[in-house]
C-alpha cells in the first residue's frame, strides 16, 4: 500500500510525515508521541480521542490521518502545561473533576470548544457539549462544576 | 452491525483526495468499485470492524464546493458535503431538519458527519432522512454525463442501499421552503438521551390554514427497510383539525403502517408502540 | 505517641497530587508506553461457546512474514492453574481450574485459543486469521438454574457445574414464619453488566537483562506476579509486575487480564511485547458482573417487624470458577441487608455456564443482593400498607445488633441519619410535568464491607521516607485506579509530617520496588494501606520529634509540626530539613516501613454461615425521583441523592466524586446497561449497544457525607468505593415501580420494558 506525504501542525509545531491512507489520525498522533489522545473505543462512541481540528472538536479515531492535510491540530497538551495550566485545566484540578483521568484529555478538548463558542453556558449546555465524552468514574458532576467555573474564570480574565 | 471483535487496523485500500467535484466524478467513473468517504463517521467503524472492505476510497471531505447552505428561488439548497454542525448553526431556518441534526450522533461526530453521508449510508434510522421526506426534498445526483434529481423518498431502496449508480455522487439536497402556516416537528427515541442511534424517529410537517390541515406528511425512521412515509396516517389528518381523538387515531394507523424488525436495540413490538408514541408526541406539540 | 489535635490537611478539599499531570495529558497509561524493538500480541479466540477442539494448525500463521511466534496451550509450561483465592493466604476448598489457553475444548465464546506475536498489529491480525482451528460444537448451557441439573452439559468434565454453595442459618425460620402476620414471596434478578472503564485492558512485557520478566500492565492486583511465574514455571522472584495509573478498574482488572499472554510472548520471543484489547474484546469476552436469580420470602408482623427471611441466591459463574465463590459469599453475608432479623435462612449457589467467566465488579455480589433485598423491602411495605421509609426504620440494624451471620456491630450504623438526609434533599414528590407523564420516588439503603474477608489474613505495607531536604517519598504497592488510592496516602503523610503535598512523592504499584500493599479491591486500600502509611509516618514523626526534643530540651508532647517546621510552645523552631540532617548525622532512621494487619479470622461454619467475615461495613441510603414518559417509555431521573457514613472523609471532594460516580453507574445498572448475551454470544459489542450514561442522562447528583468518625481506617475513616454504588440501582428501580404502580423485575428497566408493561396494564 502506497504512502502519501502529509503536512500538518500539532500544538503549533509543523509535522511532515508519510502515511498509509488506512491510518487514522488517532493512531498517527499516538505514534508521534501524542499519547494524551486516547483509544477508548476507536469507533467514535467514547470521545477519549477528541482533538481540535482547525479549532473544531472531532473524534480523531474517525478521521483518516490524510484528512488532516494542511490542518492544525490541538491536543490537551497544546492548551497548557504543568507549569502554565489553561483555566479549564486549572478548574478540572481544583474542582476534583479528574479521577482516573482517562477521559480527561478528550473532555477538556470538548470543554474548550464549547467555551470558544459560548463563553457563558448553562449547566444544561455544558452537559450537551460533553455528551460525546463518556466518563465512568465521576458521574459528570464535578466535570460540569469545573467547566462552569472555568467559564467564569475566563470571562473575568477578559 | 456486528464487528469483527479483534480488528483494529483498517484493511489496505487505494486512496485519492480530489479537490473538485469534477475530479471526484472522473475518479468515480474510472473506479466504479470505489467507496466515497466524507466525514467517515459511519464508514470508518465499518472498516475497522471488517464489515466493509473498500479497495479504493475517494475522499471528498476536501471538496469545498460541496459545502454550502443557501436560500435560492424559494428553496434551501444544501451541499451534500455540508457538516451536520453547520446545518445546526445556520441562520436559515428549517426547524424539522435542524432538530434532527441536533440529535444526530454527538457533538464530536456532528463536526465530521455530513448530510450527504447520512443519506448515502442509508440506514433506516438515518436522522436526516425523515425530515427531508416530510419537507418534500429532492436530491441531486451527478455523474460525468449530467445530473438527475430524485425525490428523497425514492432515494432509499433498502438498508444501506440507494438508487445511486456506481458512477454517481450525491451533490445537493434541495428543500422547498415550508412556508407560512407550516408546522414541523421531529421526535427521536434512542436508548439514552444523547449520542444514540434512533430506535424510532419520526418527522411531521403539517400545512395548516384556519386550523384545518391542508397537507400532512409523516415520515418514520427505523421501522422498515427504508425510512417511510406513513401515507394512510397522513390521509386521516387532511381536511381535519387536530384533536386528541384524531391524534390517537392517526398514531395508531401510523403504527400499523410500520414494519419494524427486532434487533439489538429493541423488538418489533416496542418499535410499533414507539411509532404510536412518537407520532402522538409530535402532533400534540403542533396542536 | 502524640495525637494530632486539629487537622490541617485531613478533611480538606485539596486537589489530588496527580490531578495536574492528568489534566495536561502527561500520565502514561498502559498503552502509552513503548520500548525499542517492541512487537505486538494478539489473541485468537473461540468461535463457539462450547466446542471440542479437534485440531489446531498454526503452520500458515507461523510462516507469515513478520510473525515471531504462535502459541497454543501446549506451549504454556503450566496451562491449567488451580484458582485458589487469596494472595496472602491460600484458603482451601473451591479449588477451580483456570486455563491460560483453551485446552481440549472451548468453554466460552471468545475464550483465548492461541496467541500471536508479530512485528506490527496489522501482521498480528492477519496471522490470527491464518490459524486453522477445527471445532466440534457441543451443546451449551446458558442458564445457571438449568446448569444445576445433573443432566445439563458439564463445563468441566466429570464435575458438577455447581462450584460453590453457602448457607446461613440463624434462629428458626419455620417458627418465624408461623409467627408472621404477613408473608411476601418474590423473585428478582440482576443482569450481566460490563465495567466499561474507558481504558481497555493493555500492557507491555519485556525480558530484563538477567532473563527475568517485567510486565507493565493496567491491573488492580500486581501480586498476580506469583501466578504468572507459576504459569511460566519460573521462580516468583523472577517476575516483576508494575502498574501505571489505571484508566478505571471497578474490579474488571482484578482478575488477570492480558498478563499471562504478555509474559508468554515476551518470554518466548525475547522481545518486548504489547497487547491492547479492542473495546469489542473487552465488552464481549472479559469478565462481567455475576448475574443473579433471587427468591425471597419475608415474614413480618402487622406492626412492621420482620420476623423471618428465607432467601435463595443463584449466580452465573461463567465458564471458569475464578472469584465466583467469594462473590457468592459476599452476596450471602449481605443477603438480608442492613436489617435486624431474628430468623434467617439463606442458601446460595454459584454455577458454571458457557458464558465468559464472571468476575469482580464494584460491590462484589453485595450490590446484587441489595438490588433484591431493597426491592423486597418495598414490596413488603406495600403489602403491609406501610410507608417504605417507616418500614425500613423499624428494622434497621444499629450499633450493638447482630447481623445474620452472628457478627455484633461495634460501631455506628447511620441508616436513620442517611435516610433522613436523602429524604430532605428529595423533598416532596413533584407533580408530573405533563399529562402523559408519571412520577415516582424511591429510596434504598445498603451496606458494603470494607477490607477483605478476614480469613484471608490480609496485610498491607507502606514505607515513608523523609528526605534530607524535608521532602517526603512514600513507597507503597497500592494500585491506583483513579479513586485516590495514592492521593489519600499523600494527604495522610502531609498531615502527620507537616509537609505540603507538592513536596510529597509517591511511588506505587511495583512488586520489585514497593512494599506489597495488597490488592486494590474490596474497598481496602484506604483502610489497609492508609493505616500502614499512617503507622509508617507516625514512626518517622516520632523519630524526628524525639530528636527535636533532645535539641530543644523539652518533652515530645510540647512540640508541634507545622508548615515544615517543628515548633516549641515558646516560639523556637527547627525546619524539617535541619532535623532530617541532624537525624541522619546521628544514624537515626528517617524512614519506616510499617505493616498493618486486618483482623485475622477463620472461614465461617459451612452449615450455619455463622462467623465474622469482614472487618467492618459502611452504610448509606440513596433516593431517586423519576419521570416516565408513558408514550415513549423513556425514563428521566429528575433527582438523585445518596448519603453515606464514611467515618472520616480524608478528602471530601474525592468522597463526593465516588458518591457521584456510583450514582451514575447505578442509574445505568437500573435503566440501560445490558451485555445482552444470546446463546453465549454478547450482542452488545461497543458503546453504541452497551449503553452507559452520558452527561445528559444523569441529573445533578447530590452527594451527602456523614461522618461519625468510628471507622477502622486512618483517622476513623471507612471505605467508600463500593458502597456508593449499592443502594442506587434499587432506589431507581423502586422509583420506577412507584411511578408505574407495578414493579418491573427484569433489569435493566429499558423503555421497551416500560412500554410493554404499560400496555399490559391497560
pLDDT in tens, C321-376: 999 999 999 999 999 999 999 999 999 999 999 999 999 999 999 999 999 999 99
Domains and CATH numbers, chain A: 4-78 (3.10.20.30), 87-157 (1.10.150.120)
Nearest C-alpha neighbor of C447 from the set C484, C487, C392, C529? C392
Residue A150, pLDDT above cutoff 60: yes
pTM: 0.97
Provide mean pLDDT across the span A8-29. 97
Other Cβ atoms less than 10 A from the Cβ of C430: the count is: 13
Q: Does the CB of C199 have a partner CB in chain B at under 8 Å?
A: no
Q: Does the CB of C356 have a partner CB in chain B at under 8 Å?
A: no
Q: Mean pLDDT in chain C?
A: 96
Bond from prior residue into C748 cis (ω within 30 degrees of 0): yes
Residue B41 corresponds to which cell in the numbers above? 463517521
Of A20, A43, A66, the CB nearest to B48: A43
pLDDT score at C513: 96
* 3 state DSSP class of C407: coil
User: CA–CA separation, C636 vs C641, rounded Å?
Assistant: 15
pLDDT in tens, C69-97: 999 999 999 999 887 654 445 555 567 88
Strands C677-678 and C273-276: what pairing? Answer: unpaired
pLDDT score at C762: 55
Residue C534, pLDDT above cutoff 50: yes
Of A43, A59, A66, the CB nearest to B17: A66
Length of chain B: 287
For chain B, give the longest Cα–Cα distance. Answer: 61
Residue C165, pLDDT above cutoff 80: yes
pLDDT in tens, B4-20: 888 888 989 999 999 99
Nearest C-alpha neighbor of C472 from the set C353, C591, C608? C591
Of A30, A96, A136, the CB nearest to C197: A136
Under 8 Å between Cβ of C633 and B269: no
Provide mean pLDDT across the span C157-164. 93
Q: Mean pLDDT in chain B?
A: 96
Q: Please count the residue pairs, one from chain B and one from chain C, whose beta carbons lie less than 8 angstroms apart.
A: 93
Q: Which residues of C touch B273 (CB under 8 A)?
A: 633, 755-756, 759
Residue C201, pLDDT above cutoff 80: yes
pLDDT in tens, A21-79: 999 999 999 999 999 999 999 999 999 999 999 999 999 999 999 999 999 999 999 99
Q: Which residues of C touch B7 (CB under 8 A)?
A: 125, 278
pLDDT score at C2: 46
Which chains are within 8 Å of C by 3+ CB pairs? A, B
Provide mean pLDDT across the span C505-514. 98
Q: For residue B242, what are the CA distances in angstroms to B212, B285, C190?
A: 8, 10, 44
Q: How confident is the model at residue B2 (pLDDT cuts 50, 70, 90)?
A: confident
Provide mean pLDDT across the span C722-734. 98
Helix (H) or strand (E) holding C175: helix C173-179
Q: For residue C541, what are the CA distances in angstroms to C477, C566, C578?
A: 22, 10, 14
The dihedral through the CA atoms of B95, B98, B102, B107 has a sign that is negative
pLDDT score at C87: 44
Which residue of chain A has the CA closest to C685? A41
Strands C306-318 and C132-137: what pairing? Answer: unpaired
pLDDT score at A25: 98
DSSP calls for C37-90: T-EEEEEEE-SSSSEEEEEEE-HHHHHSTTEEEEE-GGGSTT-EEEE---SSS-
Least-confidence region, from B95-99, C86-90, C288-292: C86-90
Distance of CA B157 to the CA centre of its chain: 13
Which chains are within 8 Å of B by 3+ CB pairs? A, C
pLDDT score at C91: 58
Least-confidence region, from C3-7, C388-392, C691-695: C3-7
Of B44, B49, B107, the CB nearest to A24: B44
pLDDT in tens, C446-504: 999 999 999 999 999 999 999 999 999 999 999 999 999 999 999 999 999 999 999 99
pLDDT in tens, B206-242: 999 999 999 999 999 999 999 999 999 999 999 999 9
Q: How confident is the model at residue C6 (pLDDT cuts 50, 70, 90)?
A: confident
End-to-end CA distance of chain A: 51
Q: In sequence order, which residues have a C-beta less than 8 Å from that of residue A31 and are 6 or more positions away?
A: none
Radius of gyration, alpha carbons of chain A: 16
Q: Which residues of A touch C250 (CB under 8 A)?
A: 136
Distance of CA C262 to the CA centre of its chain: 24
Amino acid at each position: 500500500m502506497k504512502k502519501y506525504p502529509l503536512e500538518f501542525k500539532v500544538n503549533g509545531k509543523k509535522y511532515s510525515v508519510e502515511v498509509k491512507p488506512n491510518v487514522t489520525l488517532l493512531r498517527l498522533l499516538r505514534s508521534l508521541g501524542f499519547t494524551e489522545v486516547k483509544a477508548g473505543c476507536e469507533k467514535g462512541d467514547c470521545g477519549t480521542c477528541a482533538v481540535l481540528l482547525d479549532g473544531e472538536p472531532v473524534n480523531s479515531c474517525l478521521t483518516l490521518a490524510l484528512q488532516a492535510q494542511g490542518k492544525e491540530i490541538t491536543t490537551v497538551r497544546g492548551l497548557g502545561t504543568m507549569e502554565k495550566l489553561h483555566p479549564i485545566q486549572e478548574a478540572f484540578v481544583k474542582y476534583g473533576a479528574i479521577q482516573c483521568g482517562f477521559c480527561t484529555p478528550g473532555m477538556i478538548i470538548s470543554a474548550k470548544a464549547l467555551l470558544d463558542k459560548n463563553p457563558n453556558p448553562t449547566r444544561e449546555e455544558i452537559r450537551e457539549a460533553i455528551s460525546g465524552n463518556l466518563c465512568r468514574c465521576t458521574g459528570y458532576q464535578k466535570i460540569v462544576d469545573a467547566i462552569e467555573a472555568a467559564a467564569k474564570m475566563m470571562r473575568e480574565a477578559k | 452491525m456486528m464487528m469483527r471483535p479483534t480488528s483494529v487496523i483498517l484493511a489496505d485500500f487505494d486512496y485519492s483526495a480530489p479537490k473538485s467535484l469534477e475530479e471526484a466524478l472522473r475518479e468515480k467513473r474510472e473506479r466504479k468499485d470505489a467507496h466515497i468517504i466524507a466525514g467517515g463517521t459511519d464508514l470508518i467503524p465499518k472498516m475497522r470492524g471488517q464489515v466493509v472492505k473498500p479497495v479504493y476510497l475517494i475522499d471528498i471531505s476536501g471538496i469545498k464546493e460541496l459545502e454550502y447552505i443557501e436560500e435560492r428561488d424559494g428553496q434551501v439548497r444544501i451541499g451534500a458535503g455540508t457538516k451536520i454542525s453547520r446545518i445546526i448553526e445556520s441562520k436559515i431556518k428549517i426547524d424539522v431538519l435542524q432538530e434532527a441534526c441536533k440529535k444526530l450522533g454527538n457533538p464530536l461526530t456532528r463536526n465530521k458527519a455530513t448530510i450527504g453521508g447520512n443519506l448515502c449510508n442509508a440506514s433506516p434510522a438515518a436522522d436526516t432522512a425523515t425530515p427531508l421526506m416530510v419537507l418534500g426534498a429532492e436530491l441531486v445526483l451527478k455523474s460525468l454525463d449530467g445530473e438527475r434529481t430524485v425525490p428523497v423518498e425514492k432515494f432509499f431502496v433498502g438498508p444501506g442501499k440507494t438508487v445511486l449508480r456506481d458512477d454517481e455522487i450525491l451533490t445537493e439536497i434541495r428543500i422547498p421552503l415550508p412556508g407560512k402556516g407550516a408546522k414541523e416537528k421531529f421526535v427521536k427515541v434512542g436508548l439514552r438521551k444523547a449520542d444514540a442511534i434512533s430506535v424510532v424517529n419520526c418527522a411531521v410537517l403539517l400545512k395548516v390554514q384556519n386550523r384545518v390541515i391542508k397537507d400532512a406528511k409523516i415520515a418514520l425512521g427505523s421501522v422498515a427497510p427504508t425510512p417511510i412515509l406513513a401515507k394512510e396516517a397522513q390521509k386521516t389528518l387532511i381536511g381535519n383539525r387536530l384533536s386528541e381523538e384524531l391524534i390517537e387515531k392517526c398514531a395508531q394507523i401510523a403504527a400499523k403502517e410500520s414494519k419494524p424488525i427486532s434487533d439489538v436495540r429493541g423488538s418489533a413490538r416496542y418499535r410499533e408502540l414507539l411509532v404510536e408514541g412518537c407520532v402522538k408526541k409530535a402532533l400534540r406539540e403542533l396542536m | 505517641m502524640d495525637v494530632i489535635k486539629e487537622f490541617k490537611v485531613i478533611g480538606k478539599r485539596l486537589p489530588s497530587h496527580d490531578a495536574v499531570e492528568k489534566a495536561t495529558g502527561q500520565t502514561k497509561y498502559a498503552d502509552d508506553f513503548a520500548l525499542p524493538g517492541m512487537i505486538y500480541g494478539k489473541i485468537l479466540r473461540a468461535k463457539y461457546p462450547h466446542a471440542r477442539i479437534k485440531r489446531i494448525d498454526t503452520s500458515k500463521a507461523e510462516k507469515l512474514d513478520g510473525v515471531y511466534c504462535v502459541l497454543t496451550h501446549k506451549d504454556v509450561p503450566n496451562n491449567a492453574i488451580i484458582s485458589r483465592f487469596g494472595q496472602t493466604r491460600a484458603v482451601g476448598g473451591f479449588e477451580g481450574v483456570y486455563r491460560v489457553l483453551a485446552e481440549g475444548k472451548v468453554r466460552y465464546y471468545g475464550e483465548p485459543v492461541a496467541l500471536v506475536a508479530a512485528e506490527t498489529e496489522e501482521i498480528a491480525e492477519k496471522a490470527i486469521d491464518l490459524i486453522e482451528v477445527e471445532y466440534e460444537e457441543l451443546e451449551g448451557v446458558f442458564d445457571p438454574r438449568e446448569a444445576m441439573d445433573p443432566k445439563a452439559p458439564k463445563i468441566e468434565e466429570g464435575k458438577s457445574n455447581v462450584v460453590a454453595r453457602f448457607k446461613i442459618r440463624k434462629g428458626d425460620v419455620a417458627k418465624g414464619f408461623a409467627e408472621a402476620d404477613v408473608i411476601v414471596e418474590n423473585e428478582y434478578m440482576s443482569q450481566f453488566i460490563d465495567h466499561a472503564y474507558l481504558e481497555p485492558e493493555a500492557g507491555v512485557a519485556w525480558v530484563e537483562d538477567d532473563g527475568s520478566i517485567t510486565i507493565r500492565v493496567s491491573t488492580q492486583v500486581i501480586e498476580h506476579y506469583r501466578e504468572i511465574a507459576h504459569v511460566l514455571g519460573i521462580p516468583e522472584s523472577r517476575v516483576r509486575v508494575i502498574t501505571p495509573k489505571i484508566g478505571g478498574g471497578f474490579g474488571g482488572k482484578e482478575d488477570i487480564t492480558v498478563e499471562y499472554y504478555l509474559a508468554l510472548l515476551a518470554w518466548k520471543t525475547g522481545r518486548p511485547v504489547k497487547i491492547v484489547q479492542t473495546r469489542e474484546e473487552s465488552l464481549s469476552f472479559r469478565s462481567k458482573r455475576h448475574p443473579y436469580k433471587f427468591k425471597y420470602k419475608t415474614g413480618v408482623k402487622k406492626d412492621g417487624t420482620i420476623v423471618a427471611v428465607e432467601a435463595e441466591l443463584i449466580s452465573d459463574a461463567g465458564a471458569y470458577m475464578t472469584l465466583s465463590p467469594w462473590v457468592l459469599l459476599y452476596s450471602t453475608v449481605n443477603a438480608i441487608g442492613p436489617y435486624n432479623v431474628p430468623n434467617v435462612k439463606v442458601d446460595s449457589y454459584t454455577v458454571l455456564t458457557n458464558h465468559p467467566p464472571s468476575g469482580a465488579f464494584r460491590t462484589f455480589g453485595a450490590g446484587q443482593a441489595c438490588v433484591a433485598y431493597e426491592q423486597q423491602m418495598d414490596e413488603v411495605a406495600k403489602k403491609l400498607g406501610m410507608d417504605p421509609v417507616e418500614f425500613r426504620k423499624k428494622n434497621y440494624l444499629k450499633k450493638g445488633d447482630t447481623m445474620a451471620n452472628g457478627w455484633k456491630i461495634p460501631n455506628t450504623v447511620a441508616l436513620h441519619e442517611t435516610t433522613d438526609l436523602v429524604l430532605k434533599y428529595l423533598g416532596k414528590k413533584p407533580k408530573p410535568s405533563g399529562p402523559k407523564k408519571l412520577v415516582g420516588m424511591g429510596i434504598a439503603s445498603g451496606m458494603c464491607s470494607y477490607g477483605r474477608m478476614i480469613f484471608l489474613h490480609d496485610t498491607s505495607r507502606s514505607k515513608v521516607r523523609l528526605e534530607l531536604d524535608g521532602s517526603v517519598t512514600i513507597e507503597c504497592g497500592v494500585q491506583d485506579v483513579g479513586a485516590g488510592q495514592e492521593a489519600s496516602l499523600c494527604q495522610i503523610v502531609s498531615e502527620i509530617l507537616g509537609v505540603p503535598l507538592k513536596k510529597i512523592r509517591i511511588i506505587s504499584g511495583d512488586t520489585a520496588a514497593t512494599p506489597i500493599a495488597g490488592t486494590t479491591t474490596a474497598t481496602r486500600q484506604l483502610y489497609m494501606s492508609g493505616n500502614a502509611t499512617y503507622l509508617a509516618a507516625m514512626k518517622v514523626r516520632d523519630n524526628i520529634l524525639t530528636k527535636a526534643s533532645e535539641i530543644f530540651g523539652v518533652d515530645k508532647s510540647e512540640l508541634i509540626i507545622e508548615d515544615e517546621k517543628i515548633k516549641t510552645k515558646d516560639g523556637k523552631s527547627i525546619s524539617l530539613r535541619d532535623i532530617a540532617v541532624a537525624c541522619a548525622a546521628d544514624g537515626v532512621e528517617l524512614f519506616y516501613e510499617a505493616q498493618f494487619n486486618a483482623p485475622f479470622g477463620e472461614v465461617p461454619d459451612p452449615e450455619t454461615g455463622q462467623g465474622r467475615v469482614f472487618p467492618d461495613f459502611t452504610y448509606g441510603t440513596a433516593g431517586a425521583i423519576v419521570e416516565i414518559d408513558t408514550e415513549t417509555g423513556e425514563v428521566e431521573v429528575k433527582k438523585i441523592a445518596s448519603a453515606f457514613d464514611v467515618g472520616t472523609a480524608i478528602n471530601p471532594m474525592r468522597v463526593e466524586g465516588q458518591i457521584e460516580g456510583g450514582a451514575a453507574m447505578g442509574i445505568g445498572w437500573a435503566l440501560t446497561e445490558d451485555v445482552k448475551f444470546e446463546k453465549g454470544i454478547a450482542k452488545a459489542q461497543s458503546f453504541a449497544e452497551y449503553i452507559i450514561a452520558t452527561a445528559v442522562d444523569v441529573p445533578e447528583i447530590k452527594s451527602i457525607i456523614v461522618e461519625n468518625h468510628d471507622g477502622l481506617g486512618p483517622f476513623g475513616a471507612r471505605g467508600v468505593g463500593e458502597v456508593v454504588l449499592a443502594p442506587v440501582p434499587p432506589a431507581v428501580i423502586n422509583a420506577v415501580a412507584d411511578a408505574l404502580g407495578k414493579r418491573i423485575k427484569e433489569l435493566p428497566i429499558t423503555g421497551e420494558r416500560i412500554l410493554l408493561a404499560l400496555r399490559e396494564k391497560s
